[in-house]
Amino acid sequence: MNKTVSRTPGRTWRIVFLIALLAFLYLPILILAVYSFTTSTQIGAIRGFSLQNYVTLFTMPDLRNMILGTIVLAFGSALIATVLGTLGAIGSFYSKSRFSGAMNAINQIPVVNADVVTGFSLCILLVVVLHISKDTYFPLVAGHVTLCAPFVYLSVMPRIKQMDPSIYEAALDLGATPFRALTKIVIPQIVPGILSGFALAITLSLDDYFIATYTKPATFDTISTYVVNATKGAQTTIKTALWALSTVIFLIVVLVVLGMNIRAMRAEKAVKREHI
């Protein structure tokens, strides 16, 4: 055992490698975070401390609207996608294999497809062929649901497969209606899959640029479309306010991930205690 350890490349070198890579991933965000608290308009020249960027971020109507719009769009389409995808997975699981096979295959298309193609094809169908105005938000919401629902389906399906089918049968034998058996027996067992599907749907919607670009109303912006347009020569006040936005989002992500990890660790400990 000692022999294998001594022959592996030095422990120090491995740590240096990992730290260098983490620096590559985090330094840009962290440096921007530092500068977001100053009056500097460029990286390099540190000026005085200021919260001006954060004030602008939350008071400028343009910025506030696009942040709220992004959040409402993400939660709305994630909700629709979760209902559709969950019911779809349940229905597909109990259907004949030919039907569920077809559904699995079609469900895979948006997953492997490039978002550019998904967005462009939806734009042609809904806007060019069916003449649905982008201003109705229908193409945008439909696009985001199309992006998210397949992932909900994929995260719910394994949970349904793990379920013990005899519990459902037992509920029916004991006189529950199929609907009651479904809501009281099936759904509670697949809740973890539904929740992770929902969370995944939100992150996909928040990160999307391409589908929104091809389907959104001209006057509406998500964070992604706004930032991309802003980099093409925006005012300095907006540019530096976006540094503040980047910092806020970074902190939220860190807190959420930290919270999830702590919860997972507690659950693990609880399980261990039960075993003792």
Identify whether the C-beta of residue 245 lies closer than 8 Å to the C-beta of residue 28: no
Q: For other proteins, which is the closer residue by CB, 59 or 177?
A: 177
Q: For other proteins, which is the closer residue by CB, 151 or 220?
A: 151
Q: How many residues does the chain have?
A: 276
SS3 per residue for 61-105: HHHHHHHHHHHHHHHHHHHHHHHHHHHHHHHHHCCCHHHHHHHHH
Nearest to 125 by CA among 137, 139, 110, 140: 139
Least Å from the CB of residue 222 to other proteins: 9
Least Å from the CB of residue 94 to other proteins: 4
Q: For other proteins, which is the closer residue by CB, 68 or 109?
A: 109
Identify whether the C-beta of residue 108 lies closer than 8 Å to the C-beta of residue 150: yes
Q: For other proteins, which is the closer residue by CB, 73 or 200?
A: 200
Least Å from the CB of residue 217 to other proteins: 15
Q: For other proteins, which is the closer residue by CB, 50 or 127?
A: 127
Least Å from the CB of residue 118 to other proteins: 8
* Number of C-beta neighbours around residue 47 at 10 A: 11
Element spanning 255, H or E: helix 236-275
Exposed, middle or buried: residue 208 (CB in 10 Å: 0-12, 13-18, 19+)? buried
Least Å from the CB of residue 31 to other proteins: 6
